[in-house]
Amino acid sequence: MSSLAKFFALPLREQCEVAEATAYLAVAQLLLLVPFRWLAPLCGRLRPGAASALPVLTEEENSSAFAVRRALQRATGRLPWDSSCLVRALAAQLMLRRRHLPTVLQLGVRAGSATELSAHAWLTCGEINIVGDESAAEFTPIAAFHA
């Protein structure tokens, strides 16, 4: 079954969520052209280091957060470009903000060698890992944006 056929086999609500995720991934990709000092205020309130206490979500909010995560995973696999962890996290944050759900966007670093530095972004909504959680433990958090 082709990718397009799989998309149209989804229920209409999920098709809309994947289309929304695709649009937000494109917007987030364009946001990387903006200097970070302008982008940072859009990410939320900055708190140095790791995220503090995460809010507890209702069952309905959990369901919405999982739907956003699923839509982003489906959309990312269908795009003609690779979306970095930061692009996926920004897109997810925009989608969750539209649903009035609290998010924490974390940025972390890892030293590979004396001259090599890696960065990573991950996003949580309540206690749900939305984007980037698969390798977040390998990075030292340096900033958390609460929105």
Q: Where are the domains of the chain?
A: 3-146
- Please name the residue that has the structure tokens 């991934």: 25
* pLDDT interval class at 99 (50, 70, 90): very high
Q: What is the pLDDT of residues 21-70, one digit of tens each?
A: 999 999 999 999 999 999 999 999 988 766 667 788 899 999 999 999 99
Tell me what pLDDT residue 1 has: 65
Q: Which strands sit side by side in the sheet containing 140-146, from one edge to the other?
A: 45-48, 140-146, 104-111, 117-125, 128-131
Which residues in the chain belong to E strands, given as ranges? 45-48, 104-111, 117-125, 128-131, 140-146
Tell me what pLDDT residue 113 has: 67
Residue 84: exposure state from Cβ atoms within 10 A (0-12, 13-18, ≥19): middle
Mean pLDDT over all residues of the chain? 90
* pLDDT interval class at 111 (50, 70, 90): confident
**DSSP code of 119?**
E
- Which neighbouring-strand residues pair with 48? 143
Q: What's the whole-number mean pLDDT along residues 99-125?
A: 89
Q: What's the whole-number mean pLDDT along residues 65-93?
A: 93
